[in-house]
């Protein structure tokens, strides 16, 4: 059990982590800080945190576990703000959806405290943000990717694995380069496409009429277009090289489908759709199989 969690960022992810720790009885006290004092106070009122700290530095003072749950663009400033209050034996983690930029920010902001840092990315979330939506069960059965760096103490990687497992996560470890490449394909690009798709409909003269006729297919495809704008602005910019590479791969595939339509090649179009349908079904079967 940890004596104190220093929570920097009392939003959906940070709040859910605090609640999950409390549910699992892995922490005695949670001290929280957010840029907005009203957010911090709301987190206290909801019982997500026990004490509201007036600064990030005070939130981590005396903490043996620290979670940075802020937009990735704010990481370096927060690392600098907490560096002098971070105990030598504290475990420090983040929850950013990109890792290369966060690690660069940590190298600059933490300096001699890098051994405490275990970069983490829980593959969980909602299309809504805010402390009111925090849930203790958010990480149940969800993958959590750790991307430790050379200065990270092996003991801290083990502690991080135990913590995330303790709140219901399934922990895997990989390099930050592999992480950013993979999630550009399976997370960041889908969000970009959803944003562009919604913009494409909404910008048409008949867009509102089209939306009135939308059903479950539209709902399922467009759900992530309602995601937090500031969070996804930062993610898309931070991982833009990898996302743009995946966007080019998507354009190539789209061009190929459009060419089959222009050629009115029904059999080739059906074959292409069948291949993607089988690939999607295979992924779902693997995802739902025991042990995944």
CATH number of the CATH domain containing 156: 3.40.50.720
Structural domains counted in the chain: 2
Residue 126 has pLDDT above 80, yes or no: no
What is the pLDDT at residue 282?
95
What is the pLDDT at residue 4?
98
The residue written with tokens 């509201």 in the block is 52
Domain match, 45 and 164 both: yes
Domain match, 243 and 202 both: yes
Domain match, 164 and 188 both: no
Comparing 197 with 111, the larger pLDDT belongs to 197
Comparing 51 with 231, the larger pLDDT belongs to 51
Residue 277 has pLDDT above 90, yes or no: yes
Q: What is the mean pLDDT of the chain?
A: 95
What is the pLDDT at residue 17?
98
Boundaries of domain holding 141 = 2-174
Domain match, 183 and 146 both: no
Report which DSSP code applies to 9. -
Residue 291 has pLDDT above 80, yes or no: no
What is the pLDDT at residue 292?
64
- Under 8 Å CB-to-CB from 242, ≥6 apart: which residues? 180, 181, 184, 188
The residue written with tokens 């479950």 in the block is 216
Residue 59 has pLDDT above 90, yes or no: yes
Domain match, 19 and 117 both: yes
What is the pLDDT at residue 125?
79
């Amino acid at each position: 059990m940890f004596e104190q969690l220093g929570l920097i960022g009392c939003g959906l992810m940070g709040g859910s982590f605090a609640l999950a720790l409390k549910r699992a009885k892995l922490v005695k006290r949670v001290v929280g800080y957010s840029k907005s004092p009203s957010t911090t106070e709301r987190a206290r009122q909801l019982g997500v945190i026990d004490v509201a700290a007036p600064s990030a530095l005070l939130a981590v003072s005396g903490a043996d576990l620290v979670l940075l749950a802020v937009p990735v663009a704010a990481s370096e400033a927060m690392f600098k703000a907490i560096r002098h209050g971070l105990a030598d034996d504290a475990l420090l983690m983040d929850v950013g959806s990109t890792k290369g930029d966060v690690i660069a920010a940590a190298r600059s902001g933490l300096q001699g405290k890098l051994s405490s840092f275990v970069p983490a990315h829980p593959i969980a979330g909602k299309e809504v943000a805010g402390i009111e939506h925090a849930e203790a069960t958010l990480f149940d059965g969800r993958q959590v990717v750790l991307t430790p760096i050379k200065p990270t103490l092996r003991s801290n990687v083990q502690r991080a694995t135990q913590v995330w497992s303790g709140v219901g996560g399934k922990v895997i470890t990989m390099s930050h380069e592999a992480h950013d490449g993979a999630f550009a394909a399976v997370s960041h690009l889908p969000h970009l496409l959803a944003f562009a798709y919604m913009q494409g409909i909404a910008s048409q003269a008949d867009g509102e009429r089209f939306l009135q006729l939308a059903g479950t297919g539209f709902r399922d495809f467009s759900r992530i277009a309602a995601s937090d704008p500031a969070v996804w602005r930062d993610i898309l910019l931070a991982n833009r090289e990898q996302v743009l590479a995946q966007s080019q791969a998507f354009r190539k595939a789209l061009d190929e489908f459009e060419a089959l339509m222009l050629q009115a090649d029904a059999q080739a179009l059906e074959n292409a759709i069948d291949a993607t349908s089988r690939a999607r079904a295979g992924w779902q079967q693997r995802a739902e199989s025991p042990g995944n």
